[in-house]
């Protein structure tokens, strides 16, 4: 793209432009998408690239026990293969499971396939995600998150209900997917040994390290779906960019001024806040463009957006208007958007990082892998040739890691360890992982579980305790299940169940940055000096009081009514588990001291202490941490807090805080804190 002249909009926010270099040697590749929303659904199905391959594919899949299927995003793997198998009568003796790393994907894909089959969701086609089960005895095609299939394996390690498991989006290598690989592989082998109905395992992805997967899955054959490919021009910046947000902004308007308005732009950024901020700036600038420069619609896309808003990215822009989608990595593979001609890749992604030394798991913005960068570029060439603008130099690209490190090697493993032990895996360290987690991370997880009382060591072996078994019955992180199990001691189970449910559901509150003042004013009446957990509980109680369906109230208070409704379901399910465990459930009414005390006891590992200079230190690791500005405790300086998670941006921020007493922490883990708490406070 020529950059020699000054563009007025670019001038407005920062003089100069982003200069790109073109690399003609590296073609991109992508499949076309034919048809559109007005084409009947049967016709759309037949236009998918996979349709051509159907007879041959079914022949092969009928015979194989293991297969790896590679085909570009949008070629029809996820929606068609389950139907093809079913129609061909393959695996009819049981269910066909299709696993997804993301719940949004599981739900929307099940919806799409039910529509294609012209049946009501929950009949032939259903889905199961955490806290939501839309299946029935008729269900044969079951979309589910990999975490859910894993939980089912605790009760049924051979997965006997299933005849086929499609492990979809395998390249994402979430920690659940990785554990599931091992569980499914073991189930397949055991079933063969016991002469049970065989289990077919098909691994699907648009992109992955096929050798690694093939080797792991018993040297399984790799089937490639062919399709037409469109070349993609790749552009790199001439110089490293110190501010990718700014670079993205400039690039969007450079393209906007030069390319035909029907060519849509997809921009890969890292997270909600950044995307919303960029969207605001784009809209502002778009209002003041010179004549002859058409209008644009700017559409944010991230996982926690309400589904109705997520759908906006699929709608074509009005004629004579450009669509600019600002997305997280969700648009890399999980979502296919048509009409994209330009991709702008920040080269960054927000992902989990774990340091076994500190035992802390943080979300941090980091560089993508090469595989991710190619996948992003590929989004530009779906219908015809396209261009990808990388906001980094070619040298920077060359220094990227080839593949994303699997999550299992960079996350806190305590939840997984607890599950594996509940699955009866005797020696967790020797579990058949595709990529082994580091011994330090495993040790750190076992230590964590030991602190929570979930496991104990005897003669060098680690065993699940009775408490640990109970903890594993909850589909929750160990510290949350521990907090619930402690709640009867403080007569505050109702409150704790509400709080844990609130924390388990995505985005119960909206925080539109453009309405920051209004949001603050609305939240004030619920705000508690005791912290965010109690504030959240206040909002939930108020929500229930005004009869939950009150849309007006939700709008005024920036409450996500749909998700708040979900909280009730979650709570009901957690309550059922408690009742099965014979717990006595009660409420402490308005006395929140008990609730905080219970939270302190369950979450003590995430405690932080105020320092004389006004900063905070995480007690476990002595890492400096700060209170996130979104917290109700941001202004105050409480001496001790526990927090839910750490977010690493410019600093390491604690999010969702609860005010606690030093004594409670000592009471929770006397030995542990005996070494750590400040003597002056004890
Ligand atoms: O799995 P893969 O990426 O190969 O493709 P897919 O998810 O089976 O999608 C095939 C096509 O189905 C997409 O290109 C969309 O046209 C359509 N689809 C849809 O309209 N709505 C969905 N929720 C999923 C897919
Ligand atoms: Mg798919």
Q: pLDDT for 192-226, tens place per residue?
A: 999 999 999 999 998 788 899 999 999 999 999 87
CATH number for the region 4-27+229-407 comes to 3.40.50.300
Strand extents, DSSP E, 225-381: 232-237, 264-268, 296-301, 322-327, 340-345, 348-355, 360-367
Topology of the domain comprising 41-225: Rossmann fold (3.40.50)
- Residue 33 CA: nearest ligand 1 atom is 14
Using the atom order of ligand 1, give the atom closest to the CA of residue 109.
23
Over residues 440-467, the mean pLDDT reads 90
Give the mean pLDDT of 398-413.
90
Is there an atom of ligand 1 within 6 Å of 46 CB? no
Angstrom distance (rounded) from CA 343 to CA 386 = 8
Percentage of residues in the chain having pLDDT higher than 90: 58
The pLDDT value given to residue 306: 66
* 600/533 Cα distance (integer angstroms): 12
Q: In the predicted model, is pLDDT for residue 138 greater than 80?
A: yes
- Please tell me the number of the ligand nearest to residue 50's CA: 1
Pairing of the two strands 232-237 and 386-390: parallel
Checking if the pLDDT of 435 tops 70, the result is yes
108 lines ligand 1 (CB under 6 A): yes
Confidence of residue 57 (pLDDT cuts 50, 70, 90): very high
What pLDDT, on a 0 to 100 scale, did the predictor assign at position 356? 63
Is pLDDT at 581 greater than 90 in this prediction? yes
- Here the tokens at position 411 are 């996350």
Model pLDDT for residues 238-282, shown as the tens digit of each residue: 999 999 999 999 999 999 998 999 999 999 999 888 998 999 999
Q: Which two tokens stand for residue 394?
A: 């070619």
Any residues with CB less than 8 A from the CB of 140 and at least 6 apart, and which? Answer: 86, 92, 95, 96, 124, 125
* Cα dist from 66 to 210, 220, 223, 443, whole Å: 13, 5, 11, 33
468 lines ligand 1 (CB under 6 A): no
- Rounded to the nearest whole angstrom, what is the distance from the C-alpha of residue 335 to the centroid of ligand 2? 8
The beta-strand segments (E) located in 135-180 are 141-145, 162-167
Tell me the best of 49, 52, 76 to mutate to test the pocket of ligand 1, counting ligand atoms within 8 Å of each CB and taking the most.
76
Cα 180 to averaged position of ligand 1 atoms, centre (Å): 24
State the Cα–Cα distance between residues 431 and 448, nearest whole angstrom: 19
For the chain, the distance separating the N- and C-terminal CA atoms, rounded to the nearest angstrom, is 65
Residue 585 CA from chain centroid, whole number: 32
Our mutation pick for probing the ligand 1 site, out of 74, 81, 170, counting the most ligand atoms within 8 A of Cβ, is: 74
**Which helix (H) or strand (E) is 394 found in, with range?**
helix 394-398
pLDDT at residue 390 in the model? 96
Give yes or no for residue 73 CB within 6 A of ligand 1.
yes
81 C-beta closer than 6 A to ligand 1: no
Residue 636, pLDDT > 80, answer yes
**Which listed ligand is nearest to 112 at the C-alpha?**
1
Report whether residue 112 contacts ligand 1, using a CB cutoff of 6 Å: yes
Please indicate whether the domains covering 4-27+229-407 and 41-225 agree at the CATH topology level.
Answer: yes
Regarding the beta carbon of 49 and ligand 1, being less than 6 Å apart is answered no
Indicate which atom in ligand 1 lies nearest the CA of residue 111: 23
3-state SS, one letter per residue, for 639-670: CEEEEEEEEECCCEEEEEEEECCHHHHHHHCH
For residues 302 and 271, the answer to whether their CB atoms sit within 8 Å is yes
Task: Please report the pLDDT score of residue 97 as a whole number.
Answer: 98
Distances (CA, A) of 170 to 78, 145, 175, 333, 371: 12, 12, 11, 11, 13
The residues, any chain, with a CB within 8 Å of residue 580's CB and separated by 6 or more, are 473
If you measure from the C-alpha of residue 116 to the centroid of ligand 1, how many angstroms do you get, rounded to a whole number? 11
Look at ligand 1, atom 17, and give the residue with the nearest C-alpha. Answer: 74
Average pLDDT of the residues of the chain: 87
**Which protein residue's CA is at the shortest distance from atom 7 of ligand 1?**
78
Q: From CA 150, how far away is CA 418, in angstroms rounded?
A: 12
Q: Is the model more confident about 467 or about 42?
A: 467
**330 Cα: distance to centroid of ligand 1 (angstroms):** 14
Mutate to test the pocket of ligand 1, among 48, 79, 82, 117 (most ligand atoms within 8 A of CB): 79
Task: Report the distance separating Cα 309 and Cα 302, nearest Å.
Answer: 10
Rounded CA separation 236/391 (Å): 6
Cα 347 to chain centroid, rounded: 19
Residue 676 has pLDDT above 90, yes or no: no
> Does any ligand 1 atom lie closer than 6 A to the CB of residue 386?
no
Q: By the 8 A CB rule, do 642 and 532 touch?
A: no
573 lines ligand 1 (CB under 6 A): no
- Report the C-alpha gap between 583 and 311 in whole angstroms: 42
**CA–CA separation, 59 vs 90, rounded Å?**
10
Q: Under a CB-based contact definition with an 8 Å cutoff, are residues 315 and 109 in contact? A: no
In angstroms, what is the span from residue 217 Cα to ligand 2's centroid?
Answer: 20
CB crowding 340-353: b at 16 or more within 10 Å, else e = bbbbbbbbbbbbee
564: Cα within 13 Å, side-chain hemisphere: 26
Chain centroid offset of residue 172 CA: 10
Q: Is the pLDDT of residue 27 over 50?
A: no
- The lowest-confidence range among 31-45, 172-186, 444-458 is 31-45
Does the pLDDT at position 569 exceed 70?
Answer: yes
pTM for the full predicted model: 0.81
CA of 38 to the centre of ligand 1 (A): 15
Any atom of ligand 1 within 6 Å of the Cβ of 336: yes
Q: For the residues 369-384, what does the mean pLDDT come to?
A: 87
Stronger pLDDT, 303 or 398, i.e. the higher one? 398
Axis crossing angle, helix 532-545 with helix 493-504, rounded to the nearest 10: 100
- pLDDT over 70 (residue 28): no
Query: Does residue 109's CB lie within 6 angstroms of at least one atom of ligand 1?
Result: yes
Cβ neighbours of residue 343 under 8 Å, at least 6 residues apart? 265, 266, 267, 268, 376, 377, 379, 380, 386, 387, 388, 389
Atom of ligand 1 nearest to the CA of 81: 8
pLDDT score at 639: 96
What average pLDDT does this structure show over 560-583? 90
* Pocket flag, ligand 1, residue 48 (CB < 6 Å): yes
Residue whose pair of structure tokens reads 């941490």 in the numeric block: 625
Query: Residues 510-523: what's their mean pLDDT?
Result: 82
Question: Nearest ligand to the C-alpha of residue 110?
Answer: 1
* Dist. CA 63 → ligand 2 center (Å): 23
**Domain spans, the chain:** 4-27+229-407, 41-225, 412-464, 478-681
Quick check: CB of 76 below 6 Å from ligand 1?
yes
The predicted-structure confidence for 539-554, as pLDDT tens digits, reads as follows: 999 999 887 568 889 9
Q: Which range (71-75, 83-87, 499-503, 664-668) has the least confidence? A: 71-75
pLDDT score of 111: 92
Structure confidence at residue 228 as a pLDDT band (50, 70, 90) = low
Q: Which residues contact 582 (CB under 8 A, 6 or more apart)?
A: none
Q: Which atom of ligand 1 is nearest to the CA of 44?
A: 16
What interhelical angle do 146-155 and 414-422 show, nearest 10?
30
As a whole number, mean pLDDT of residues 136-158 equals 94
Residue 130, pLDDT score: 86
Distance 73 CA to ligand 1 centre (A): 8
Q: Among 34-43, 440-449, 523-532, name the one with the lowest average pLDDT.
A: 34-43
Q: Higher-confidence residue: 615 or 520?
A: 615
DSSP string over 428-468: GGGS--SSPPPHHHHHHHHHHHHHTTSEEEETTEEEE-HHH
- So what's the pLDDT on residue 549? 60
Closest CA to 202 of 181, 172, 186: 181
- With a CB cutoff of 8 Å and minimum separation 6, the contacts of 222 are 67, 68, 69, 70, 210, 214
Q: Are 323 and 261 within 8 A, CB to CB?
A: no
Looking at per-residue pLDDT, the higher value among 397 and 155 belongs to: 397
Average pLDDT over residues 168-179: 92
| pLDDT higher than 60, residue 627 | yes
Strands (E), 347-395: 348-355, 360-367, 386-390
Which residues are 354's β-sheet partners?
A: 361
Cα separation, 549 vs 555, in Å, equals 11
What ipTM was estimated for this complex?
Answer: 0.98
User: Is the CB–ligand 1 distance for residue 378 below 6 Å?
Assistant: no
Residue 71, ligand 1, Cβ within 6 A: yes
- Digit-coded pLDDT (tens) for 466-516: 999 999 999 899 999 999 999 999 999 999 999 999 998 877 888 776 788
Among the bound ligands, the one closest to the CA of 74: 1
Residue 333 beta carbon below 6 angstroms from any ligand 1 atom: no
pLDDT at 80: 97
Q: 319 by DSSP, 3-state: which?
A: coil
- For residue 266, how far is its CA from the centre of ligand 1 (angstroms)? 18
Mutate to test the pocket of ligand 1, among 44, 112, 172 (most ligand atoms within 8 A of CB): 112
Could you tell me if the CB of 82 is within 6 A of ligand 1?
A: no
Which of the 8 DSSP states describes residue 169?
S
């Amino acid at each position: 793209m020529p950059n020699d002249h000054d563009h007025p909009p670019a001038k407005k926010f920062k003089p100069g432009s982003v200069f790109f270099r073109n690399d003609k040697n590296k073609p991109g590749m992508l499949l076309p998408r034919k048809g559109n929303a007005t084409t009947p659904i049967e016709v759309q199905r037949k236009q998918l690239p996979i349709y051509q391959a159907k007879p041959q594919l079914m022949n092969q899949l009928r015979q194989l026990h293991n297969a790896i299927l590679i085909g570009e995003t949008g070629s029809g793997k996820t929606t068609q293969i389950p139907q093809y198998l079913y129609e061909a009568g393959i695996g009819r003796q049981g269910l066909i499971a299709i696993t997804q790393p993301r719940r949004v994907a599981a739900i929307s894909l099940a919806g799409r396939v039910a529509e294609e089959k012209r049946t009501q969701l929950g009949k032939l086609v259903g889905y199961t995600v955490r806290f939501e089960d839309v299946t029935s005895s008729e269900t044969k095609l079951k979309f589910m998150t990999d975490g859910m299939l894993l939980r089912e394996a605790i009760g049924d390690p051979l997965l006997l209900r299933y005849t086929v498991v499609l492990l979809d989006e395998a390249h994402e290598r979430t920690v659940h997917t990785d554990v599931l690989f091992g569980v499914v592989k073991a189930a397949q082998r055991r079933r063969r040994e016991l002469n049970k109905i065989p289990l077919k395992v098909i691994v699907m992805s648009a992109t992955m390290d096929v050798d690694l997967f093939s080797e792991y899955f018993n040297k399984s054959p790799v089937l490639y779906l062919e399709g037409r490919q469109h070349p993609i021009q790749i552009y790199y910046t001439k110089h490293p960019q110190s501010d990718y947000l700014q670079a993205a902004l400039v690039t969007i308007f450079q393209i906007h001024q030069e390319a035909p308005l029907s060519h849509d732009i997809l921009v890969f950024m890292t997270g909600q806040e950044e995307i919303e901020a960029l969207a605001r700036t784009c809209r502002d600038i778009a209002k003041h463009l010179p004549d002859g420069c058409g209008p644009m619609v700017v559409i944010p896309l991230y996982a926690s957006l309400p589904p109705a808003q997520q759908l906006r990215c699929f709608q074509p822009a009005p004629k004579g208007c450009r669509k600019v989608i600002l997305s997280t990595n969700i648009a890399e593979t999980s979502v296919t958007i048509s009409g994209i001609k330009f991709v702008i890749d920040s080269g960054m992604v927000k992902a989990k990082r774990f340091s076994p030394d500190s035992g802390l798991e943080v979300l941090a913005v980091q560089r993508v892998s090469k595989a991710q960068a190619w996948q992003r570029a590929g989004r530009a060439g779906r219908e015809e040739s396209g261009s990808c603008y990388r906001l980094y130099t070619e040298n920077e690209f060359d220094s990227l890691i080839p593949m994303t490190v699997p999550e299992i090697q960079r996350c806190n493993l305590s939840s997984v360890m607890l599950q594996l032990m509940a699955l009866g895996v005797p020696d967790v360290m020797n579990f058949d992982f595709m990529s082994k987690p580091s011994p330090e991370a495993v040790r750190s997880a076992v230590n964590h579980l030991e602190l929570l009382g979930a496991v104990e060591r005897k003669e060098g072996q680690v065993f699940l305790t009775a408490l640990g078994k109970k903890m594993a019955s909850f589909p929750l992180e160990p510290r949350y299940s521990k907090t619930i199990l402690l709640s009867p001691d403080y007569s505050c189970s109702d409150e704790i169940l509400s709080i844990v449910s609130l924390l388990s559901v995505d985005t119960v509150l909206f925080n539109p940055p453009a309405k920051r003042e209004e949001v603050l004013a609305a939240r004030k009446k619920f705000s508690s000096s005791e912290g965010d957990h109690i504030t959240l509980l206040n909002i939930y109680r108020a929500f229930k009081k005004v009869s939950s369906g009150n849309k007006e109230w939700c709008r005024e208070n920036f409450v996500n009514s749909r998700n708040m409704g979900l909280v009730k379901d979650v709570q009901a399910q957690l309550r059922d588990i408690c009742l099965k465990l014979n717990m006595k459930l009660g409420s402490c009414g308005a006395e929140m001291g008990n609730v905080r005390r219970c939270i302190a006891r369950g979450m003590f590992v995430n405690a932080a202490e105020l320092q004389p200079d006004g900063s905070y230190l995480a007690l476990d690791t002595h890492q400096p941490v700060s209170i996130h500005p979104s917290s109700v405790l941001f202004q105050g300086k409480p001496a001790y807090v526990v927090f839910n998670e750490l977010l690493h941006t410019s600093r390491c921020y604690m999010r969702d805080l609860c005010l606690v007493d030093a004594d409670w922490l000592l009471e929770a883990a006397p030995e542990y804190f005996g070494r750590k708490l400040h003597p002056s406070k004890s």
